[in-house]
């Protein structure tokens, strides 16, 4: 059965429009609906020499498979015309409107998933909106108290207990309450969204050598290990805490369905080394499916025709896979 997947083009001056226009070269059993300014897409397509027919989105018409050469567009008007490669804070609210339209469509059941192109946090903040990222925005839109950031590439999935906070704050943020909630969301979504009945979750310690029996830190002894033990008693399949410098050993990777890190730069450098350009950001805990590219707006590459669409293709493929598993 054909489902609708909404795709947001992100920052108009960046590579997001280039990426979504590449959808014109694809065919799919599902319908892709691009949420963006239609005129901006038409101008970018002309600039890139892409032959595409832009079709106005009509929610009253049943979802139809996506066909090559066309792009269905849910038009959201920009405040000012876009200059490729040049940020314009006047369009900061436009970017948020595309995200809000996509989120509300998913919450109503109109769309089955969201795939997001890259946004520029700074220009949105300069537009007068406190914006820390897609993840937090979608959590607020859906009244979700806590979400989990996961990144995936071929052969590796990692998730995070803490995300975009200074390293100095991490230790205090890794509490029994937070770790329990993160683990519950991670386990539940691995079951419900990834169709794994008994997901194997490997967990990093916080300190070097996972604290080395308290010699290099006590968070593992006082918080992490006791919390994981309680969750094992509830039936979760958990290994750890293990040292982060050995958890990526192949013997563990072959067994783990996902690895949970305590902080951003503990696990993401490994993920990006293994699959940069072909990895995807997946937000767990939301009441809908959301995937995203793993890179930024790349203003210097916008409009050049030299954009690597690998991460976007991976994000789209994962969204389709998750939609079909949900069916």
pLDDT in tens, the chain (327 residues): 889 999 999 999 999 999 999 999 988 999 999 999 999 999 999 999 999 999 999 999 989 899 999 999 999 999 999 999 999 999 999 999 999 999 999 999 999 999 999 999 999 999 998 888 898 899 999 999 999 999 999 999 999 999 889 999 999 999 999 999 999 999 999 999 999 999 999 999 999 999 999 999 999 999 999 999 999 999 999 999 999 999 999 999 999 999 999 999 999 999 999 988 889 999 999 999 999 998 899 999 999 999 988 889 999 999 999 999 876
Please give the Cα distance from 84 to 318 (Å, whole number): 29
For the CA atoms of 118, 120, 124, 129, the dihedral, rounded to the nearest 10 degrees, stands at: 80
Q: Are strands 113-116 and 4-8 parallel, antiparallel or unpaired?
A: parallel
Please give the Cα distance from 210 to 219 (Å, whole number): 9
Beta partners for residue 281, in sequence order: 151, 292
Question: Which candidate, 209, 191, 212, places its Cα nearest to that of 201?
Answer: 191
In residues, how long is the chain?
327
Please give the Cα distance from 89 to 128 (Å, whole number): 9
In this structure, the number of other CB atoms found within 10 A of the CB of residue 73 comes to 23
- pLDDT of res. 286: 96
DSSP letter at 140 equals: H
User: What pTM was estimated for this model as a whole?
Assistant: 0.90
Please give the Cα distance from 184 to 124 (Å, whole number): 32
Please give the Cα distance from 198 to 191 (Å, whole number): 7
- pLDDT of res. 204: 98
Q: Which helix (H) or strand (E) holds 163?
A: none
Going along the chain from its start, the domains and CATH numbers come out as 1-144+286-327 (3.40.718.10), 148-277 (3.40.718.10)
CA atoms 287, 291, 296, 300: torsion sign: negative
């Amino acid at each position: 059965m054909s489902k609708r997947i909404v795709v947001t083009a992100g920052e108009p001056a960046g590579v997001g429009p280039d990426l979504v226009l590449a959808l014109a070269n694809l065919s799919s059993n599902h319908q892709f609906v691009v949420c963006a300014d239609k005129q901006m897409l038409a101008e970018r397509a002309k600039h890139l020499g892409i032959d595409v027919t832009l079709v106005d989105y009509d929610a009253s018409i049943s979802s139809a498979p996506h066909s090559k050469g066309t792009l269905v567009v849910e038009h959201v008007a920009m405040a000012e015309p876009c200059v490729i490669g040049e940020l314009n804070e006047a369009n900061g609210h436009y970017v948020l409107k595309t995200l809000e339209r996509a989120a509300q469509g998913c919450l109503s059941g109109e769309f089955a998933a969201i795939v997001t192109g890259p946004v520029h946090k700074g220009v949105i903040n300069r537009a007068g909106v406190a914006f820390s990222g897609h993840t937090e925005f979608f959590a607020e839109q859906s009244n979700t108290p806590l979400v989990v950031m996961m990144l995936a590439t071929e052969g590796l999935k990692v998730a995070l207990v803490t995300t975009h906070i200074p390293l100095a704050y991490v230790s205090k943020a890794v509490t029994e309450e937070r770790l329990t909630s993160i683990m519950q969301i991670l386990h539940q979504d691995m079951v419900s969204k990834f169709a794994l009945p008994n997901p194997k979750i490997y967990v990093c310690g916080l300190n070097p050598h996972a604290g080395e029996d308290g010699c290099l830190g006590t968070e593992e002894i006082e918080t992490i290990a006791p919390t994981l033990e309680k969750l094992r008693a509830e039936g979760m399949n958990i290994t750890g805490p293990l040292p982060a410098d050995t958890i990526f050993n192949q013997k563990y990777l072959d067994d783990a369905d996902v690895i949970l890190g305590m902080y951003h730069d503990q696990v993401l450098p490994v993920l990006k080394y293994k699959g940069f350009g072909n990895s995807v950001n997946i937000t767990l805990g939301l009441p809908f499916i959301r995937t995203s590219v793993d890179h930024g707006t790349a203003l210097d590459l916008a409009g050049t025709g030299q954009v690597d669409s690998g991460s976007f293709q991976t994000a789209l493929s994962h969204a389709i896979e998750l939609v079909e598993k949900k069916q």
